Chain A
């Protein structure tokens, strides 16, 4: 595709910006970046105009993260050129990017836990105080307050960041980027951790920035927002640009095809459970100090039961209480007819598995091999005499890799180098060796691309087909609707409703889960 052709394609965006200026704000020409053994970016060209929201799509490992890192100066490209308003510029370190007004909202938060919100927003750009080397803390707070007000985030800027939840940290990240008077704002999956209400607020903000002439590069895995916000869509695959299209000229199916290079069924069509088995999880009137009260729910074998509600409604806390990670104050939990009490190790012996919401910090030993991660939960079961036998270990790991179709060169590969979807398979896989039959899965597809999502759901479906039971927590209502046999909806630490298969719609979930406003 010629560059000229691409410029033509952005007419819509240019009209929106009202400038009529043909020169892009930023243009990347034939950018390549390689690491030993990996071609992360291969001849990628990319341009963005003021006031344009440019959606960047691609599966994990497609090169989106590398492209962002090149854009913000964290990586230096091996080849290619940068043009800012038509002028050739160099891009070697973060200072170069900042000088051009490029700000990035990273998916992995770039916040310092024991500094306050204001200090985080202005990290590295502190206002000088009276004496050399000192800082003007009051001014930093005032300016931070101003930026926070601008995005409608009502919080004391002196609050230390370690006290904030994920969604609040996301808002701080956004404030941090905005405070840099960014002309080009890169957002890496900004909605991944946000509730619907927060997402709406974010969208309003994005449109406001767009109206102010800010160019926005927006990475997303959610088709709905790609079409809702995007002026143009660029798709990457295997480090190459495979297409740059206007939303009006494409369909979600076409985008998915571009991303994965093949057709993928996004409906995750599964065979819903016709005849559920006996009750394997029975939670009765459980109240716990972690904020949940009077929880009643059941899961039968062969079922996938959803647990939904807004972020912070207590879903994860229910999972933790069942698993014994948090103590319960009153009520009873039975699993497979047995009273559930004691710490997680007892839960594992009783046949429970918890797949936590944060894959990287709670689910995996990132710097260990695929094999090590797969075996870690099942060591007691595999080697009851406490002696580690390599052949058994290798065979078990290999079997799991094949069964779950984990894409890895070998079981010796370091887990950190796998894609998000394959990492998630490893987290699930490690429980197969324990003989678990009741799986609690928290946010099974967070940060996982479309193609891999379907595979994860197939895998979960496979588990219940074999008689296991699954309690699935998800912030993505469409997933709950497409995957679950029934679902419970939570609000403010309580279960506010149960939806049977035929009542299970996104509208019903929202209606129950929203605060009475």
Chain B
């Protein structure tokens, strides 16, 4: 097995085979044998496409967790952005305007989270739990609790269209991953992310505006929730006020499965990509086996524990 860590060019802590890779292989082997149609090209492409929405929020979640933070609001913000996007497109007929509104809603909530955490020193768990409630409530209010339908079918292109034969979500997901890779490993901003979690005082003493950086990290998470809302709305061709509630669970699980630690700024972006695939394959395989959604959540929980157990076998990194 090639060393996945060096493949990512990261300062990754993984010296041997990471738990997430083991889990990914085990899951694929399992579903290949027990889930009918799992290995078909159509299904695998489907897994990839469905995983992109999760990827969009798991990438910034990796950065947020590397700052020793957390964003519980992302599922609710994504839902709100999706509803707002649908409403705007229905009202104005302009997809661009709808997308802009969705991004603005995401950014606003992200920056709000950042301000609460960085300036008001509210613990991230509590701050984003609060904004989760606000976003979820707003989604229900603006949609009147109903699905927003009547979105013009032109938006379908975002999810079902193809660029040079490659499905749009995969193009967007690939672009997002590349963007985050460059951002985390090749920019100043990215260098400061592990410092925010690992030693904020050092960053402050180096003359870096640490609070501003933290707000930017959360703001990025918000924007990406807006991007994910675009994919989600296009996929459903509607805005539904409970569509992505609870998705923060999948996102945090994917990041944790991928080997990012919740302490000291120890994160691994490529691990998150693998973690997203692991969660996506698990959900897909269980769907094929007609396992109900509630049981899937339990399985994801087991997945997280399993991956982290495998990592812990190698001792502290």
Interfacial residues, chain A to chain B (CB-CB below 8 A): 72, 74, 93-95, 98, 104, 106, 109-116, 119, 123-126, 129, 133-135, 137, 158, 160, 162
Contacts and interface: CB of A to CB of B under 8 A. Distances in A.
B198 A115 contact: yes
Contacts of A158: 11
B195 interface: yes
A124 B188 CA distance: 8
B189 interface: yes
Chain A, interface SS category? loop
B26 to A, nearest CB: 28
5 contacts: A95-B207, A114-B11, A114-B265, A123-B203, A133-B188
B187 interface: yes
Interface of B: 11, 13, 66, 182, 185-189, 191, 194-195, 197-199, 201-208, 264-267, 317
A114 B188 contact: no
B313 to A, nearest CB: 15
Contact of B199 (A95, A113, A133): A113
A310 B264 CA distance: 29
A111 B182 contact: no
A174 to B, nearest CB: 15
Given A110-B201, A112-B203, 9 more contacts: A74-B205, A109-B199, A113-B265, A114-B66, A114-B197, A124-B208, A133-B189, A134-B188, A162-B264
Nearest to B185: A137
B188 A126 contact: yes
A111 B267 CA distance: 16
A114 B208 contact: no
B202 A110 contact: yes
A125 B264 contact: no
Contacts of B199: 109-113
B191 A94 contact: no
Given A114-B13, A135-B187, A137-B186, A124 B207 contact: yes
Contacts of A125: 206
Contacts of A95: 207
B191 A115 contact: yes
A83 B199 CA distance: 32
A125 to B, nearest CB: 7
A104 B202 CA distance: 11
A109 B185 CA distance: 23
A312 B136 CA distance: 54
Contact of A134 (B187, B194, B201, B203): B187
B68 to A, nearest CB: 11
- Interchain residue pairs A-B with the least CB separation, the first 7: A124-B206, A110-B202, A112-B198, A112-B195, A114-B194, A114-B266, A114-B265
Contacts of A116: 11
Contact of B194 (A74, A104, A115): A115
Given A111-B199, A115-B11, A123-B195, A135 B205 contact: no
B193 to A, nearest CB: 9
Contact of B264 (A104, A113, A123): A113
Contacts of B185: 137
Nearest to A106: B205
A93 B13 CA distance: 34
A158 B265 CA distance: 17
A508 B201 CA distance: 42
A334 to B, nearest CB: 29
Contact of A112 (B13, B265, B317): B265
Nearest to B202: A110
B264 A129 contact: no
Contacts of A162: 13, 264, 266, 317
A213 B185 CA distance: 37
A141 to B, nearest CB: 12
Contact of B182 (A113, A114, A134): A134
B7 to A, nearest CB: 15
Contact of B186 (A94, A104, A123, A134): A134
A98 B207 contact: yes
Contacts of B205: 72, 74, 94, 104, 106, 110
Nearest to A96: B207
Given A124-B206, A137-B186, A160-B11, A119 B191 contact: yes
Contact of A133 (B187, B194, B202, B265): B187
B204 A112 contact: no
Given A115-B191, A116-B11, A133-B187, A94 B206 contact: yes
Contacts of A137: 185-186
A112 B265 CA distance: 8
B74 to A, nearest CB: 23
A515 B205 CA distance: 38
Contacts of A160: 11, 13
A104 B205 CA distance: 10
B197 to A, nearest CB: 8
B11 A135 contact: no
B194 A112 contact: yes
Contacts of A133: 187-189
A158 B182 CA distance: 18
A113 B265 CA distance: 8
Contacts of B317: 162
A106 B206 CA distance: 12
Contacts of B265: 112-115
A162 B261 CA distance: 13
Contacts of B208: 123-124
A143 B186 CA distance: 17
B312 to A, nearest CB: 16
Nearest to B263: A113
A137 B187 CA distance: 9
Contact of B198 (A74, A104, A106, A113): A113
A94 B195 CA distance: 17
Given A94-B205, A124-B206, A125-B206, A114 B187 contact: no
Residue among A72, A109, A114, A119 facing the most chain B CB atoms (10 A cut-off): A114
B9 to A, nearest CB: 9
B202 A126 contact: no
Contacts of B13: 114, 160, 162
Nearest to B186: A134
Nearest to A119: B191
B191 A123 contact: yes
B24 to A, nearest CB: 23
Contacts of B204: 74, 94
Contacts of A114: 11, 13, 66, 194, 197-198, 264-267
